[in-house]
């Protein structure tokens, strides 16, 4: 694993740790909002994993994830507004 990838994974790990660090202090509304965002993030990461599996299985290049990421951000903003 190259150092940029390793640093990115470390940043993700730290971010998830920070998100979960003070859950006992949050209101129910804050926990519900956090849960919605985490579920949405889980769906997005599953989509990314499926693209990798598809590439490996079918020996294809699925291309840029820009469209998926734009959709992720749009859906996330809708979650945040509710």
What is the block-wise mean pLDDT of the chain (82 residues), using blocks of 10 residues? 95 93 91 93 94 88 87 94 83
What is the DSSP annotation of 2-49?
-HHHHHHHHHHHHHHHHHHTTGGGS-HHHHHHHHHHHHHHHHHHHHHH
| Angstrom distance (rounded) from CA 19 to CA 44 | 18
Q: How far is CA 29 from the centre of its chain?
A: 21
Look at the chain and report how many structural domains it folds into: 1
Q: 34 near 26, Cβ under 8 Å?
A: yes
Instruction: Tell the residue number behind the tokens 């940043």, with chain if given.
Output: 11
pLDDT digits (tens, 9 = 90+) for 4-16: 999 999 999 999 9
Can you give the pLDDT at residue 17?
94
Domain containing 9 equals 3-81
């Amino acid at each position: 694993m190259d150092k940029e990838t390793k640093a990115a994974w470390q940043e993700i790990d730290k971010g998830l740790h920070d998100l979960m660090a003070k859950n006992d202090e949050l209101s129910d509304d804050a926990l519900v909002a956090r849960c919605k965002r985490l579920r949405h993030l889980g769906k997005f990461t599953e989509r990314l994993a499926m693209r990798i599996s598809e590439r490996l299985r079918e020996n294809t290049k699925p291309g840029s994830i820009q469209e998926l990421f734009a959709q992720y951000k749009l859906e996330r903003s809708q979650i945040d507004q509710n």
